[in-house]
Amino acid sequence: MQLEEFLKRQGEFALGHLPTEGFHPETRNLSDLAHQDLGAAIKIVQNIDLAAMEKTEAQANRIQLLSEVIQKTLKNKHRIFLSGCGATGRLALALESTWRKAFADSEQENSVQALMAGGDFALVKSVENFEDFPDYGRRHLNDLGFKTGDLLIAITEGGETPYVIGTVHEALSHSSEKGFQKPWFVYCNPAELLCKTVERSRIVIENKNVENLCIETGPMALSGSTRLQAATSQMLAVGAALWNDLSLISRLREGYALFNLAQFLKPVAEWESTVYREKNFVMYQTEDFPIAVLTDTTERSPTFSLTPFEKQRDFHASHYSLCYLGIPSVNDSESSWVEILNRQPIGLEWPELNGRLGRESILEFDFSNKFLNARALKLFPCEQKMISLNKLGTRLEFFTDQFSSVAESDLLLHPLLEQLFVKMILNTHSLMVMGLVGRYEGNVMTWVRASNGKLIDRTLRYLDFLIDKRNLANPGRDRLLEMMFSEMPTIGPNEAMVLKILEKLTVNTHDAKSE
Lowest mean pLDDT among 29-38, 373-382, 411-420: 373-382
Q: Tell me, what's the pLDDT at 508? A: 74
Q: Could you tell me the pLDDT band of residue 510, with boundaries at 50, 70 and 90?
A: low
Residue 515: pLDDT over 60: no
Lowest mean pLDDT among 178-187, 286-295, 460-469: 460-469
Residue 437: pLDDT over 60: yes
What pLDDT digit, counting tens, does each position of 203-247 carry? 999 999 999 999 999 999 999 999 999 999 999 999 999 999 999
What average pLDDT does the segment 435-463 reach? Answer: 90
Residue 317: pLDDT over 80: no
Q: Tell me, what's the pLDDT at 315? A: 65
Burial degree of 483 (CB within 10 A; 0-12, 13-18, 19+):
middle
Provide the edge-to-edge strand list for the sheet that holds 184-187.
112-116, 80-84, 151-155, 184-187, 211-214
Residue 377: pLDDT over 70: yes
DSSP β-bridge partners for residue 404: 399
> Pick from 248, 213, 233, 243: which is nearest to 62 by CA?
213
Contacts of 455 (CB under 8 A, 6+ apart): 128, 302, 448, 449
Distances 500 to 310, 508, 512 between C-alpha atoms, Å? 25, 13, 19
Arithmetic mean of pLDDT over the chain: 94
What pLDDT digit, counting tens, does each position of 155-190 carry? 999 999 999 999 999 999 999 999 999 999 999 999
Positive/negative CA dihedral, 188, 190, 191, 194: negative
Q: Is there a contact between 199 and 205 (Cβ–Cβ < 8 Å)?
A: no
Q: Which helix (H) or strand (E) holds 448?
A: none
What pLDDT digit, counting tens, does each position of 44-98 carry? 999 999 999 999 999 999 999 999 999 999 999 999 999 999 999 999 999 999 9
Q: Is there a contact between 284 and 421 (Cβ–Cβ < 8 Å)?
A: no
Residue 3: pLDDT over 90: no
Q: Tell me, what's the pLDDT at 9? A: 85
Q: Could you tell me the pLDDT band of residue 509, with boundaries at 50, 70 and 90?
A: low
Q: Tell me, what's the pLDDT at 371? A: 87
Q: What percent of the chain has pLDDT over 90?
A: 83
Q: Tell me, what's the pLDDT at 246? A: 97
What average pLDDT does the segment 126-134 reach? Answer: 84
347-356: long-range pairs with CB below 8 Å, 24+: 347/119, 347/120, 347/121, 348/118, 348/119, 348/121, 348/140, 348/143, 350/139, 356/121
Distances 92 to 172, 187, 192, 231, 270 between C-alpha atoms, Å? 20, 13, 26, 10, 31
The whole-angstrom distance between residue 505's C-alpha and the CA centroid of its chain comes to 32
